[in-house]
Amino acid sequence: MSGFRSLALAIFKGFLRDRQAVFFSVFFPLMFLVLFGGIFSNQGQSKLDVVEVGKVGLIDDLPAQARAVFGDSFSVAKSDDLAASIKKVRDGDVVLAIEQQGKKIVVHYSNADQVQAATAQGTLQSFIQAANVAASGKPPTFGYAARPVEDKSLKTIQFVTPGLLGWAIATSATFGAAATLVGWRRSKLLRRLRLAPVSTQSVVAARIGVTLAIALMQMAIFLGLGVAAFGLRLTGSWWMGIPLLVCGTFSFMALGLLAGSIAQTVEGATSLANIFVLPMAFLSGSFFPLDNAPGWLNVVSHLLPLRHLNDGMLDVMVRGKGPTSALAPMGILLGFTVVILLIASRFFSWDSD
Amino acid sequence: MADTIAVQDMRKTYGDLKAVDGVTFSVQPGEFFGILGPNGAGKTTILEIVEGLRAADSGSVSLLGMSPWPRNSGLLPRIGVQLQASAFFERLTAREQIRTFASLYGKSTSTADEWLSRVGLDDKADTRTEKLSGGQLQRLSIACALVHGPEVVFLDEPTAALDPQARRNLWDLLSSLNSDGRTVVLTTHYMDEAEILCDRVAIMDQGRILQLDSPAALIRALDAGVRISVEPNALDPDTARGLPGVESVEVDPASISMATHDPTAVLGELARREALRGLQVKSATLEDVFLTLTGREYRA
pLDDT in tens, B93-102: 999 999 999 9
Judge whether B223 and B235 are in contact, CB under 8 Å: no
Question: Are B90 and A18 an interchain contact pair (Cβ–Cβ within 8 Å)?
Answer: yes
Residues of A whose CB is below 8 A from B84: 188
The mean per-residue pLDDT over the stretch A259-282 comes to: 91
Of the partner residues B51, B76, B88, the one whose CB lies closest to the CB of residue A197: B76
What is the reported pLDDT for A353?
Answer: 55
Q: In the predicted model, is pLDDT for residue A45 greater than 60?
A: no
As beta bridge partners, residue A47 has none
What is the reported pLDDT for B298?
Answer: 57
| Rounded Cα gap, residues A334 and A154, in angstroms | 30
Of the partner residues A17, A186, A194, the one whose CB lies closest to the CB of residue B71: A194
Among B143, B134, B1, B5, CA closest to B66: B5
Of the partner residues B53, B96, B106, the one whose CB lies closest to the CB of residue A194: B53
Q: Is B73 exposed, middle or buried (CB count within 10 Å of its CB: 0-12, 13-18, 19+)? A: exposed
Cα of first residue to Cα of last residue in chain B, in angstroms, is 35
Higher pLDDT, A346 or A2: A346
| Rounded Cα gap, residues A50 and A59, in angstroms | 11
Of the partner residues A18, A187, A192, the one whose CB lies closest to the CB of residue B81: A192
At residue A151 the predicted structure's pLDDT band, cuts being 50, 70 and 90, is very low
Question: Are A192 and B87 an interchain contact pair (Cβ–Cβ within 8 Å)?
Answer: yes
Residues of B whose CB is below 8 A from A18: 90-91
Judge whether A13 and B91 are in contact, CB under 8 Å: yes
| Rounded Cα gap, residues A323 and B291, in angstroms | 78
At residue A144 the predicted structure's pLDDT band, cuts being 50, 70 and 90, is low
Residues of A whose CB is below 8 A from B99: 6
The residue of chain A with its CA nearest to that of B73 is A197
Read off φ and ψ for residue A326, nearest 5 degrees: -80, -15
Higher pLDDT, A333 or A68: A333
The residue of chain A with its CA nearest to that of B95 is A10
Residues of B whose CB is below 8 A from A188: 83-85, 87
Residues of B whose CB is below 8 A from A191: 53, 83, 87
Question: Are B104 and A189 an interchain contact pair (Cβ–Cβ within 8 Å)?
Answer: no
- Cβ-proximal residues to B45 (8 Å cutoff; 6+ apart), any chain: B12, B19, B20, B54
What is the reported pLDDT for A46?
Answer: 66
Residues of A whose CB is below 8 A from B51: 195
Q: Which amino acid is at A235?
A: T
Min Cα distance B68 → chain A (Å) is: 10
What is the reported pLDDT for A119?
Answer: 83
Q: How much is the ipTM here?
A: 0.83
Question: Are A188 and B73 an interchain contact pair (Cβ–Cβ within 8 Å)?
Answer: no
| Rounded Cα gap, residues B6 and B62, in angstroms | 5
What is the reported pLDDT for A65?
Answer: 76
The mean per-residue pLDDT over the stretch A229-244 comes to: 89
- Cβ-proximal residues to B14 (8 Å cutoff; 6+ apart), any chain: none
Residues of chain B under the 70 pLDDT cut: 1, 84-85, 295-300
The sheet carrying A96-101 orders its strands as: A74-79, A48-53, A96-101, A104-109
The structure's pTM equals 0.78
At residue A318 the predicted structure's pLDDT band, cuts being 50, 70 and 90, is confident
| Rounded Cα gap, residues A68 and A71, in angstroms | 5
| Rounded Cα gap, residues B104 and A194, in angstroms | 11
What is the reported pLDDT for A152?
Answer: 45
Higher pLDDT, A130 or A281: A281
Rg (CA), chain B: 23
Computed over every residue of chain A, the mean pLDDT equals 86
Q: In the predicted model, is pLDDT for residue A154 greater than 60?
A: no
